[in-house]
Chain A
Amino acid sequence: MRQILFASLLAAALSAQAANLRWAAQNDVLSLDPHSQNHATSNAILQHAYEGLTRYGKPVGGEYKIEPALATSWKQTSETQWRFNLRKGVKFHDGSPFTADDVVFSFKRIQQPQGTMQIYVTGVKEVVKVDDYTVDFILNGPVPILLRNIRDFRIMSKSWSEKNRSQNVQDYAKKEETYASRNVNGTGPYIIKGWEPDKQIAMTQNKEWWGKLDGNVSDVVYTPIKSDATRVSALLSGDVDMVTDVPVQDVQRLRREPKLKILDGTEVRTIFIAMDQYRDELVYSNVKGKNPFKDVRVRKALNTAVDREAIKRVVMRGLSIPAGILVAPGVHGHTKDIDTFPKADPAAAKKLLAEAGYPDGFEFTLDCPNNRYVNDEKICQALVGMWAKAGLRVKLNSMPFANFIPKILNFDSSAYMLGWGVATYDALYTLQSLVRTKTGGAEGSFNLGRVSDPKLDNVIDAIKIATDPKARDALLREGLVRTRDQFYYVPLHHQMRPWAMKKNVSTVYIADDRPEARFTRIEGGM
């Protein structure tokens, strides 16, 4: 009897320290398969359960430093070979041990063409098992940012995947579901207990985790709340502890709220419009027999007609940085002097269109997500108005992100809005994903307008293997500037995304918009 009493007292004392984090944001995850979709919300959730060989430590002064995760140490043995020593005694959530076989298996899996995560193992030719706790990464050429890349190369259990017939990555574009797209078995600090689509994701602390939490969160409940007003109400009424995408119009008001605090930061994400520059005739346009977006003057006109400052002031309420290049401040390669864009001038845009042979403009459809980026649909609506002033008749086709992504992945779009965050904090990631000619795998993985410029391809391929930092910086600059001057995209702005939370919650702002529960602490009672 006394023992039971003691045990329950102890349990009560322990649970007083542990805390639940109720976190809300706009989006649901697309899949629980860690090799399926390179999607920020999915990555943000899955990083709690699945780990890579490396990870980012707690950022200090905006610096994101790589530290050991499932690998304890590494050594570059030659230009094209790295040796990783794996952490011993790590167990997956189902209890099976983590070994080199799992790394080799995961490498083969992430490379499958139906996924969109290959970028994180870009330049890696092969992963070879040396012994149970040592692997070699054989590279095609030097990969200077390998350690940053593989942070998002997440390790799955070979035996679990085989047992549950999930050796293959889910084919998301074909709406396939597999065991691994609905269930999670990682090594990370939190165990994902369940996912109820559009309702919630519940996580609980992994008591067997090899590391130590830098916070006191034992349970996380993530709730996607699509409506801006409802999300803010949930925070104000105390139904959630933290909202990581506060509607821009409400930031000022929340700052004045004594119960809450705002954590400011610039997300390393750039919002832009992409155009189909591959087909000889656009699918959704009234121009027949040619593709107007292949003409640089038309692309320049699209860029010139946009009033980025007005979007910043009105739609974003000042919470954005107007953009001329595709990477945000904080990403290696971004410098202020190249992040420039043409001044808004509808008349000049009209003139450019006339020069290109469209004196009366033309029609096209703009596909736009309506629940992914800050005010995405409203930005698109504003663009329709701005382009209308230059004579372009744009039909807006907005839809939830879950419908939008398969559509653009199947190239079923003539123009679309997308945002690109940079997990590696290096501009190569963006150039390679968005500008490099699409040849499969990581090359042009989200270059869905199929831009193809041999000069840029050469620059990008040179960046990949450049080892001299100065020469590499010059190449990054060249790539970004040429992309800007050829107007391959219409960059709009770099998104700022303040997080709002209750006063008693403290966490670390992370610029790739992926809050980590392990850095989060909740003081006082529930």
Chain B
Amino acid sequence: MILRRLWEHDLAWSFRRSPVTVVAAALTLACVLGALLSPWLAPQNPFDPAALDLNAAFKPPAWVAGGERAYMLGSDNQGRDILSTLLYGARISLGIGFASVLLSLALGVFLGLLAGYFGGRLDAVLMRVADVQLSFPAILIALLIDGVARAALSPERHDALAIPVLILSIGLSKWVDYARTVRGSTLVERGKEYVQAARVIGRRPLAILLGHVLPNVMGPVLVLATINVGVAIIIEATLSFLGVGVPATQPSLGTLIRIGNEFLYSGEWWITVFPGAALIVLVLSVNLLGDWLRDALNPKLR
């Protein structure tokens, strides 16, 4: 019964109508499942140094002369199986992507609600801070936060905390998007009758914000969040590519591309090409899903 209603829902209908979206959803699902199940799917645990064999380094993909079945997509300079490293790496990339989006979403939505609902000085201060931050590219802010954390922590502690620090720096660099979107919608909702009614019956501001306003401003936020997952993955990959992201012993997709980049001239193309392709597929499919969600939720386009 519920399934049937879901199937007939507007969203489901527009989903079925768009083959690109179906493919994108399938690819995203495959990436997420591959990442989640990597310990069971991957032939090797690339994060365990004892499992690596330097003598198996630089093996080409299985279908190229000299390749081996055991290393389907070849191996990298440390003898890590590329396929296994991709699966483990995607887990880190996706984990950081989702976690940082959640962080910036929570922070941005909350501050946006406050600014839009209360207005006045609070609004002015929050929005000026947002304006200032918007004038810097997100990657620069993430680099800055990561740099401060690096200087504050000893290198050893930093390596252990590399992933939380990355989540924090990417999350803090993107909250503005949500805050501004939510503030705009809240300004509109604030004057509506249901909010006034809630106020008249004496509900407290926080309850009004979370109980009444929030559900009505979440549509655009969800679209933004979907697209930002892709952006966050790209920022993480960029930071790791620049060598300030996750440590080389636990590579994410960006780290893998950086490592592989050194071997482009010497002909070991597979070390960088496969992680690069995986990154493109992952980000593209997440973005296509986001695009579809935006169109499907936009009443003007129906």
Q: Which residues of chain B come closer than 8 Å to A382, judged between CB atoms?
A: 54, 78
Is B39 part of the binding interface, using a Cβ–Cβ cutoff of 8 Å?
no
**Complex: how many Å from CA A252 to CA B58?**
15
1/0 per position for B154-180, CB-CB distance to A under 8 A?
011001000000000000000000000
Known: A310-B55, A314-B55. A378 touches B50 (CB 8 A): no
Give B48's nearest chain A residue, CB to CB.
Answer: A388
Is A307 part of the binding interface, using a Cβ–Cβ cutoff of 8 Å?
yes
Known: A314-B58, A397-B156, A397-B159. A228 touches B49 (CB 8 A): no
1/0 per position for A165-203, CB-CB distance to B under 8 A?
000000000000000000000000000000000000000
Known: A378-B78, A395-B156. A310 touches B54 (CB 8 A): yes
Among A145-175, those with CB < 8 Å from B are none
Which DSSP category, helix, strand, loop or mixed, fits chain A's interface?
helix
**Complex: how many Å from CA A384 to CA B80?**
13
Q: Which residues of chain A come closer than 8 Å to B78, judged between CB atoms?
A: 378, 381-382, 385
Q: Which residues of chain B come closer than 8 Å to A310, judged between CB atoms?
A: 54-55
Q: Which residues of chain A come closer than 8 Å to B52, judged between CB atoms?
A: 385
Known: A381-B78, A382-B78. A247 touches B49 (CB 8 A): no
**Complex: how many Å from CA A125 to CA B49?**
51
- Asked if B77 and A389 make an inter-chain contact with CB atoms under 8 angstroms apart, the answer reads no
Is B57 part of the binding interface, using a Cβ–Cβ cutoff of 8 Å?
yes
Q: Which residues of chain A come closer than 8 Å to B50, judged between CB atoms?
A: 385, 388-389
Give A394's nearest chain B residue, CB to CB.
Answer: B49
**Complex: how many Å from CA A103 to CA B126?**
65
Is B135 part of the binding interface, using a Cβ–Cβ cutoff of 8 Å?
no
Known: A314-B77, A395-B156. A250 touches B265 (CB 8 A): yes
- Asked if A365 and B156 make an inter-chain contact with CB atoms under 8 angstroms apart, the answer reads yes
**Complex: how many Å from CA A269 to CA B295?**
63
**Complex: how many Å from CA A229 to CA B50?**
29
Q: Which residues of chain B come closer than 8 Å to A395, judged between CB atoms?
A: 156, 159
Known: A284-B156, A378-B77, A384-B49. A249 touches B54 (CB 8 A): no
- Asked if B249 and A396 make an inter-chain contact with CB atoms under 8 angstroms apart, the answer reads yes
Is A40 part of the binding interface, using a Cβ–Cβ cutoff of 8 Å?
no
1/0 per position for A290-318, CB-CB distance to B under 8 A?
00000000000000000100110111000
- Asked if B54 and A397 make an inter-chain contact with CB atoms under 8 angstroms apart, the answer reads no
- Asked if B159 and A249 make an inter-chain contact with CB atoms under 8 angstroms apart, the answer reads no
Give A407's nearest chain B residue, CB to CB.
Answer: B155
Give B160's nearest chain A residue, CB to CB.
Answer: A395
Q: How many residues of A contact B (CB 8 A)?
A: 34
1/0 per position for A239-261, CB-CB distance to B under 8 A?
00000000101101100000000
Q: Which residues of chain A come closer than 8 Å to B156, judged between CB atoms?
A: 284, 365, 395, 397
1/0 per position for A380-410, CB-CB distance to B under 8 A?
0110111111000011111100010000000
**Complex: how many Å from CA A525 to CA B268?**
36
Among B43-59, those with CB < 8 Å from A are 48-50, 52-55, 57-58
Nearest Cβ distance between residue B270 and chain A, in whole angstroms?
14
- Asked if B248 and A381 make an inter-chain contact with CB atoms under 8 angstroms apart, the answer reads yes
**Complex: how many Å from CA A24 to CA B218?**
54
Nearest Cβ distance between residue B141 and chain A, in whole angstroms?
22
- Asked if B262 and A386 make an inter-chain contact with CB atoms under 8 angstroms apart, the answer reads no
**Complex: how many Å from CA A386 to CA B50?**
7
Among B236-258, those with CB < 8 Å from A are 247-249
Nearest Cβ distance between residue A265 and chain B, in whole angstroms?
21
Give B268's nearest chain A residue, CB to CB.
Answer: A249
Nearest Cβ distance between residue B220 and chain A, in whole angstroms?
41
Known: A229-B261, A378-B77. A384 touches B249 (CB 8 A): yes
**Complex: how many Å from CA A96 to CA B263?**
51
Nearest Cβ distance between residue A412 and chain B, in whole angstroms?
10
Is B18 part of the binding interface, using a Cβ–Cβ cutoff of 8 Å?
no
**Complex: how many Å from CA A388 to CA B54?**
12
Known: A314-B58, A381-B78, A381-B249. A249 touches B49 (CB 8 A): no
Nearest Cβ distance between residue A394 and chain B, in whole angstroms?
8
Nearest Cβ distance between residue B53 and chain A, in whole angstroms?
8
Is A232 part of the binding interface, using a Cβ–Cβ cutoff of 8 Å?
yes
Nearest Cβ distance between residue A349 and chain B, in whole angstroms?
13
User: Which 9 pairs show the lowest CB-CB distances between chains A and B?
Assistant: A388-B50, A249-B266, A388-B49, A385-B49, A385-B52, A314-B57, A310-B54, A384-B49, A250-B265
Q: Can you list 13 A-B pairs, Cβ within 8 angstroms, ordered by A?
A: A227-B262, A229-B265, A249-B265, A310-B55, A311-B54, A314-B55, A314-B77, A315-B54, A381-B249, A385-B50, A396-B249, A397-B156, A399-B155
Excluding A310-B54, A385-B49, A385-B50, 5 further A-B contacts by CB distance (< 8 Å) are A227-B262, A229-B264, A250-B265, A311-B54, A378-B77
Residues of B within 8 A of A (CB): 48-50, 52-55, 57-58, 77-79, 155-156, 159, 247-249, 261-268
